[in-house]
């Protein structure tokens, strides 16, 4: 007759196992609560519904007055939109709409990282062309996602922006539209934006 070689766990081992199990359950529940909170913030459509209403203080975003002078032959001569910018959007009702980091490339493409939760979609791309001295038109598009990761729809932003003569800021108007997966427009918001150039100190 074979005897079991496994002896019953000692009381101290049982307590240790129970404490580890409780800790694992608490950690799992905490993670689940964070995931649910992030999912709740990831609604599609109007970026103001995704937590962008609060204004961030970004001391690193101060355009250096001297930083862009080497790029310009003189005031207004070569004030290009090419570069990295901190952009604040305001809806026509004067409510804060969105903040972002935006990069305009010399090849006519553009990239934006919006201050929104990544789970809902916060990266988008565009193409632009110059339509007048220091003035550009942009067509910009991106994807919105459901909390589970499936595509909820698309959005576009069309802008007309004018760079200041010193090249360190720009102002413009935007038209933001959201479309569901069938291509039907479900939201449209218009407004204005201002950009501050980010330069090397």
Q: Phi-psi category of 67—alpha, beta or left, where left has phi over 0 and alpha has psi -120 to 50?
A: alpha
Confidence of residue 121 (pLDDT cuts 50, 70, 90): confident
CA 128/CA 97 separation, integer angstroms: 22
% of the chain residues with pLDDT over 70: 61
- CATH topology (fold) of 47-198: Lipocalin (2.40.128)
pLDDT, tens digit, 9 for 90 and up, residues 147-195: 888 999 999 999 999 999 999 999 999 999 999 999 999 999 999 999 9
> Is 46 or 72 the better-scoring residue by pLDDT?
46
DSSP assignment of 19-54 equals: HHHHHHHHHHHHHHHHHHHHHHT--SS-GGGGTTTS
Six token digits for residue 22 = 């409780």
Query: What does the pLDDT average to over 62-75?
Result: 40
Q: What is the mean pLDDT of the chain?
A: 74
Best CA proximity match to 132, nearest among 172, 85, 169: 172
pLDDT of 65 higher than 70: no
> Is 193 or 52 the better-scoring residue by pLDDT?
193
In the prediction, which pLDDT does 86 show?
Answer: 97
Angle at the Cα of 177 (from 57 to 80), degrees rounded to 5?
55
Which residues, in sequence order, are bridge partners of residue 175? 158, 190
Domain spans of the chain, in order of start: 8-40, 47-198
CA 178/CA 157 separation, integer angstroms: 9
Least confident of 38-42, 112-116, 159-163: 38-42
Q: Are 117 and 37 in contact (CB under 8 A)?
A: no
Best CA proximity match to 196, nearest among 129, 101, 93, 73: 101
pLDDT of 98 higher than 70: yes
> What are the CA-CA distances from residue 33 to residues 37, 38, 117, 146 (Å)?
6, 9, 16, 17
> Is 56 or 97 the better-scoring residue by pLDDT?
97
Confidence of residue 32 (pLDDT cuts 50, 70, 90): very low
Q: Are 160 and 136 in contact (CB under 8 A)?
A: yes
In the prediction, which pLDDT does 23 show?
Answer: 40
In the prediction, which pLDDT does 195 show?
Answer: 97
In the prediction, which pLDDT does 79 show?
Answer: 81
Confidence of residue 82 (pLDDT cuts 50, 70, 90): very high
């Amino acid at each position: 007759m074979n005897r079991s070689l496994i002896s019953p766990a000692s009381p101290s081992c049982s307590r240790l196992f129970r404490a580890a199990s409780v800790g694992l359950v608490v950690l799992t529940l905490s993670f689940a609560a964070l995931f649910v909170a992030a999912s709740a913030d990831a609604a599609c459509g109007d970026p103001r519904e995704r937590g962008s209403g609060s204004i961030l203080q970004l001391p690193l975003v101060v355009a250096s007055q001297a930083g862009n002078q080497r790029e310009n032959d003189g005031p207004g001569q070569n004030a290009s939109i090419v570069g990295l910018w901190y952009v604040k959007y305001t809806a026509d009702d004067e409510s804060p709409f969105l903040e972002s980091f935006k990069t305009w490339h010399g090849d006519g493409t553009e990239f934006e990282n919006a201050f929104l939760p990544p789970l809902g979609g916060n990266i988008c791309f565009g193409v632009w062309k110059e339509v007048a001295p220091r003035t550009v038109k942009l067509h910009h598009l991106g994807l919105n996602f459901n909390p589970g990761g499936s595509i909820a729809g698309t959005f576009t932003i069309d802008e007309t922006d004018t760079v200041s003569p010193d090249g360190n800021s720009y102002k413009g108007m935007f038209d933001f539209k959201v479309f569901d997966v069938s291509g039907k427009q479900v939201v449209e918001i218009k407004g204005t934006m201002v950009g501050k150039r980010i330069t090397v100190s």
